[in-house]
Amino acid sequence: MPVNAASAAVPRPLVFAGFPASSWAFALRTWLAMMLALYVSFWLELDSPSSSALTVAVLALPTRGQGMEKAGYRLAATVIGVVASIAIAGLFSQTDGLLLAVFGIWIGLCVYVAGMLDGNRAYAAALCCITVALVAIQQIDTPLQVFPTAVARGAAIGIGVLAVALVNEVLAAPNYHPVLTRRLEALHGRVTDLTQAAGPASATAAASLLHDIAALHPEIASLVTESSIGTARTEAARSALVDLVSALSLGRMLTALPATSPDTTGLMAMSRSWLQAEISRKNAQARGCLHALREGKRPHHAWRAPLYRSRRIAAETAARAAISFMLIALFFVLTGWPSTERCLTLVAAIIGLSSISPAPRIFALVAVTAMPIACALAGILKYLVFNGVSEFQLLAIGLAPVVIGLALLISLPNPMLSSLGRLVLVFMIAVLGPTNPQSYDPEVFLVTSLFACLSAVLVFAAQMLLPPLSGDRRVRLLLGEAGRELDHLGRGRTRHLAPEEAAFRDAALIEQILTANGALPLDGQITAKAMRCFDQAETLRRCCAELDRLRQSPLAGAARIAREALARRSGGAILASAEALRQAAARSKLSANSAIAMLIAAHGAFASSQSPSQGARP
Amino acid sequence: MTNTYRELVVGGVLIAPIVSYAAIALLAFLLLRPLLRFVGFAGWFSNPSLAELSLYVAMFGLLALFL
């Protein structure tokens, strides 16, 4: 292997048994937090000590801020879920089928809300559904136990959160902001390269860059919980994201400017120089935001970064989740098996978790794989390793290799293996169910394992029967929505967003389109179409914003004509209105360079859309 | 000197005083965060988050002791 001077100068990270030292530290922290949570739960004689260990398994994240943010949402979602459980159990406890239907509707509602949010907020929505499953569905035959179960779960989750927080603080778990800063700097470099490239950038490269920028959105919220200057850092990171999208969209406008003809030389030159100045300004603002992020200061301007989510897709996913749950509940009613509420609880939990995964079917497959592994591990631990012991020290030593090993698996960069590691850890704790004193009844263990595996298989079977929205259909729906939004733009219906913020929202739409097919590469034509919509929408918004500024000036008449030309989406009319505006500005001795530059950019965007071979740029 | 701890009653549910102290301390700490940012608290320590946790524990302890 060739070794050059640069690579020799960089210190290699410490690696042990194929895993870096940071992964080992993370695994050790997870095990310590879990043991602390279990010890405190046993000491306080809580009813469900395994819930606190489960909380630690769920909150096992490599950086401190991410874990704390998830913990906050977990607590909030538990409170909402408990209130919903009490309300549902109170109102529908004696209603048989109706109760199951209400559970199904609640699950659908939670999945819908999860579909409209991202990151840990979506997780919180899914957890509302899981909490109801664990509190109300588990006590389906004993509604009077709902409140004590809810209190026990709340206390156990509180202990788990405190254990994770304490271990992360004392053992100095790494902060997330240096990682995020490095990623944002890399994105800034890519945006600068793309905007300074001589020729027009390919739609695929631009779309992939927009996807990478928008994909950081859910992660910046975790900076708030890191330290007292976390709020300023979040604002800086958010503004950097918005500025990067703006710089990229302006760069695309610059490269899409039409070729100069003798009549339009002056207009083109004016537009080009204005766009170049604006790109430099946006790049400088992005650099300022990155500096503010490093220093923990507020940015020059705090942009909002609105999220794009399709209501239609969220509603269709929610309907599928609700119907799947009701079908499985109906199956259990028809079989008449005893103690199936545990199984139904796990079904609701898997449906909730799969709703926040980008590919629900793959998640269900991972769950089907993880469940037998978790049951086998729990069985080995219970009957071969512990085999009747009740001392806490032995429990801690026995759990160490499994918990540390699975935490190492979670720290892997491969999303499939990482997800498998987390699911096996969570399911293993759920099946093992550490209690004080530990129960070693083989019948209980066998029934629990059987029902756990059955629930995963049933969710997978329900997904085969009622397949989730396919990637192609998602892309079609999203492109249709993008097209409709573009049609309405500049024709009365406006959102109260600055053009930069609206551009970020459109970048989130591009991200949705690119992730709709999972890991599969997207068709070049679809990417080109999505990017054409993006370019036209950004140009139109900026044009309208610049023309609105002229509304109170003597150039109001020319601006109105330009708006009418924009509403017609006619490249020729837009060019004529830009020329008219330039003449009106010269007569009134006023400057309207920004509006004229944007009108020329709009002319470029709509002229290229009228000739598809130019617009596609594959 | 012995403290008389009074439980918080919400809709007939008794909540242990330590829980309400923890919540009050958390609220007070969150309100204090802008001030900490203003005085540059994070710059004084090598592990600011641990210092913040210690501050929270101190506030929680004082509340439990004197309230």
pLDDT of residue A286: 92
pLDDT of residue A14: 81
pLDDT of residue A493: 53
Rounded CA separation A117/A191 (Å) = 27
Span of A26-40, A160-174, A328-342 with lowest mean pLDDT: A328-342
Q: Is the CB of B23 inside 8 Å of chain A's CB atoms?
A: no
Query: Band of the pLDDT at B2, cuts 50, 70, 90?
Result: low
Span of A291-295, A477-481, A486-490 with lowest mean pLDDT: A486-490
Which H, E and C letters describe A145-177, residue by residue? HHHHHHHHHHHHHHHHHHHHHHHHHHCCCCCCH
Rounded CA separation A140/A309 (Å) = 34
Q: How many beta-carbon pairs under 8 angstroms link A with B?
A: 30
Tokens of B7: 């439980």
Q: Does the pLDDT of residue A68 top 90, yes or no?
A: no
Chain B nearest CA to A476, separation (Å)? 45
Question: B52 contacts in A (CB within 8 Å)?
Answer: 227-228
pTM, 2 dp: 0.84
Tokens of A368: 């089907």
Question: B36 contacts in A (CB within 8 Å)?
Answer: 228
pLDDT of residue A160: 92
Rounded CA separation A302/A240 (Å) = 9
DSSP state, residue A261: -
Q: Does the pLDDT of residue A83 top 50, yes or no?
A: yes
Q: Does the pLDDT of residue A359 top 60, yes or no?
A: yes
For residues A281 and B16, the model is more confident at A281
pLDDT of residue A492: 56
Tokens of A15: 């690696």
Nearest by Cα to A215 from A184, A176, A247 = A184
Mean pLDDT in residue range A269-291: 90
Predicted confidence (pLDDT) per residue in A12-53, tens digit: 678 888 888 889 999 999 999 999 999 999 998 888 888 899
Q: Is the CB of B49 inside 8 Å of chain A's CB atoms?
A: yes
Tell me the average pLDDT of chain A. Answer: 85
Q: What percent of chain A has pLDDT over 90?
A: 26
Q: Does the pLDDT of residue A372 top 50, yes or no?
A: yes
Q: Does the pLDDT of residue A615 top 80, yes or no?
A: no
pLDDT of residue A12: 66
Q: Does the pLDDT of residue A552 top 60, yes or no?
A: yes
Nearest by Cα to A226 from B48, B58, B27, B25 = B48
Question: B34 contacts in A (CB within 8 Å)?
Answer: 228
What 3-state DSSP class applies to A20?
strand
Burial code of A535-544, b = ≥16 C-beta within 10 A, e = fewer?
Answer: bbbbbbbbbb
User: Does B49 contact A165 at a Cβ distance shorter than 8 Å?
Assistant: no
Predicted confidence (pLDDT) per residue in A425-458, tens digit: 999 998 888 887 788 888 888 988 988 898 899 8
pLDDT of residue A318: 93
Question: A172: exposed, middle or buried (C-beta count within 10 Å: 0-12, 13-18, 19+)?
Answer: middle
A244, A193 Cβ separation under 8 angstroms: no
Substitution target in B37, B44, B57 with the highest count of A β-carbons within 10 Å is: B37
Query: Band of the pLDDT at A465, cuts 50, 70, 90?
Result: confident
Q: Does the pLDDT of residue A614 top 60, yes or no?
A: no
